[in-house]
Copies of this chain bind each other. A is one copy, B any other.
Amino acid sequence: MDTMATITLDSLRKEFDNGRIVAVDDLSVGVEDGEFITVVGPSGCGKSTTLRMVAGLESPTSGHIRIGDEDVTDQHARKRDVAMVFQNYALYPHKTVMENMAFGLRMSTDLSKEERRERVRETAQMMGIEDLLDDKPDELSGGQKQRVALGRAIVREPDVFLFDEPLSNLDAKLRTTMRTEIQRLQNEFGITSLYVTHDQEEAMTMGDRIVILKDGKLQQVGRPKDVYENPANEFVGGFVGSPSMNFLDVVVERDGDRVVLVADDGSFSYRLSKSFSAALRDATHEDELRIGIRPEDVFTATEGSNLIDSTVGVVEPIGSDNYLHLDIGPDFIARVASDIEPEIDETISITFDESDLHVFHPRTGETLLRDEPARRAAPASN
């Protein structure tokens, strides 16, 4: 690619049904050239709509889309140099794999038939599907179809790649394989990509950056690790990571210059360090808070401060680890090593590091302590 294929979404808004449904609401995101951006969010949050606007399959109600330097907002889909991989592959069922892959070239370039076949063959070789070129799509397995769909997009060497949940129809194993394959291709070609998925793990592992949407509104953009560690709000915190972050409602009590977080039913209390307390006091004057703690940050302990006693509900072994469902809060899960196997209804003590604590506004859900590095720098000071 010689052109700079950045994508800029500028206050994009899309309404359906004469404004009754706002699918995308004031979305502004910039995608760097060669970047792989994953878009994630719950069902109906507007991911596909966003992607389709970039592809030109929907026209925005307001706002602008730029690819490279060009404003493509009003450009027809077929004029934009984008390739798209669809959830159901959308392979032309009556064309052979060869014809499927060559179709885009035929429509958008003026290569001769021979050149087209040559290009297709090269790509097919790269994708390991050269043996399938004469087959029709319905003779292919799911993974093969997926490969063909990818190949069809790649062979056109577009400025921009769009993926709409391309892996959601594959089974778990194949999904992992194809995920790696897409990453490999992306590394190889460095084509700017927008990748929609509802699977946060996929989003996390694949994206250079990750865009999180909810109800058509942008929640957060950032590198997966940043998003994971510093979720902008409760929603992002809960959405990213599996199993989900555990949330607890607490009351803020003071004990000198320390803050003590007490469960609203009084079942436990957690005493914060001085520096954390200070930071928290600076950040908010709320009496109640919502705290979040990730399952892997919860550990069992028998001694030390801030121990929380809880009853084990279910023990889920996933092989490498065990998930303990605890009765501290609703759906409270601790991820522990696989050799920790308490009995059901056993009472165990757990705790977590203050540094792993996420603090959210009880009503808006906004993260209250954003500036983590300061706090992280002194984890041992409690």
Chain B residues with CB below 8 A from A173, complex form:
42, 239, 244
Known: A224-B319, A228-B317, A320-B294. A242 touches B172 (CB 8 A): yes
Complex: how many Å from CA A205 to CA B180? 25
B199 close to A318 (CB less than 8 A) = no
The one of B172, B180, B198 in contact with A171, judged by C-beta atoms closer than 8 angstroms, is B198
What is the distance, in angstroms, from A184's C-beta to the closest C-beta of chain B?
8
Chain B residues with CB below 8 A from A228, complex form:
317, 319-320, 338
How many residues of chain A have a CB within 8 Å of chain B?
44
A183 interface residue (CB < 8 Å to B):
yes
Chain B residues with CB below 8 A from A158, complex form:
none
User: Majority SS of interface residues in chain A?
Assistant: mixed
- Interface 1/0 per residue, A235-269 and B, CB below 8 Å: 00001111110000000000000000000000000
Known: A314-B180, A331-B180. A171 touches B42 (CB 8 A): yes
A176 interface residue (CB < 8 Å to B):
yes
B338 close to A320 (CB less than 8 A) = no
Chain B residues with CB below 8 A from A331, complex form:
180
Residue among A205, A206, A296, A338 with the highest chain B CB neighbour number at 10 A: A205
A316 interface residue (CB < 8 Å to B):
yes
A43 interface residue (CB < 8 Å to B):
yes
What is the distance, in angstroms, from A48's C-beta to the closest C-beta of chain B?
13
B317 close to A225 (CB less than 8 A) = yes
Complex: how many Å from CA A123 to CA B123? 55
B171 close to A314 (CB less than 8 A) = no
Known: A296-B320, A335-B320. A199 touches B224 (CB 8 A): no
B42 close to A204 (CB less than 8 A) = no
Give chain A interface residues in 291-350, CB to chain B under 8 Å: 294-296, 314, 316-321, 323, 325, 331, 335, 338, 341
A224 close to B317 (CB less than 8 A) = yes
What is the distance, in angstroms, from A118's C-beta to the closest C-beta of chain B?
29
Complex: how many Å from CA A192 to CA B264? 39
What is the distance, in angstroms, from A361's C-beta to the closest C-beta of chain B?
22
Residue among A184, A240, A243, A314 with the highest chain B CB neighbour number at 10 A: A314
A201 interface residue (CB < 8 Å to B):
yes
Known: A241-B319, A242-B176. A43 touches B201 (CB 8 A): no
B43 close to A171 (CB less than 8 A) = yes
17 more contacts with CB within 8 A, not counting A172-B199, A205-B316, A240-B319, are A43-B171, A172-B198, A176-B242, A176-B243, A180-B314, A184-B314, A201-B318, A205-B317, A205-B323, A228-B319, A228-B338, A241-B318, A241-B319, A294-B320, A296-B320, A296-B321, A320-B335
Residues of A within 8 A of B (CB): 42-43, 142, 171-173, 176, 180, 183-184, 187, 198-201, 204-206, 224-225, 228-229, 239-244, 294-296, 314, 316-321, 323, 325, 331, 335, 338, 341
User: Can you identify 14 A-B contacts, CB atoms within 8 angstroms?
Assistant: A42-B171, A42-B173, A43-B171, A171-B198, A172-B198, A172-B200, A172-B242, A201-B318, A205-B316, A205-B318, A225-B319, A225-B338, A228-B338, A241-B320
